[in-house]
Amino acid sequence: MDFRQAQADILALLEDSPITSSDVRTDVRELVQVGEIGLAFDTLCSWIFEDSLAISRPFYERLKGLGNDLEEQSSVDRLDELIVD
């Protein structure tokens, strides 16, 4: 996967995510800016799970697809429990 595309995809997911904490949003953005794509993705997924934030099926599918592309599938594990249709 193209590095810049991965950066853009993570930032787009962040914008569409249910995360409201400005600190978490800032952390993810900073990780993307310094090139820590895997860590940024893991942080995004971890906060969604830890805060039990409801997500839509299309949002989950986007996370899952990017997780596969980044070889970070474990970050998406169990997020399917949070899907609200």
Domain ranges for the chain, please list them.
3-82
**CA gap 31, 79 in Å, rounded:** 21
Tokens at residue 1, please? 């996967």
Q: Tell me what pLDDT residue 85 has.
A: 82
pLDDT tens, position by position, for the chain (85 residues)? 799 999 999 999 999 999 999 999 999 999 999 999 999 999 999 999 999 999 999 999 999 999 999 999 999 999 999 999 8
CA dihedral for 31, 50, 45, 84, sign (positive or negative) = negative
* Residue 9 near residue 66, CB atoms below 8 Å: yes
Q: Tell me what pLDDT residue 11 has.
A: 98
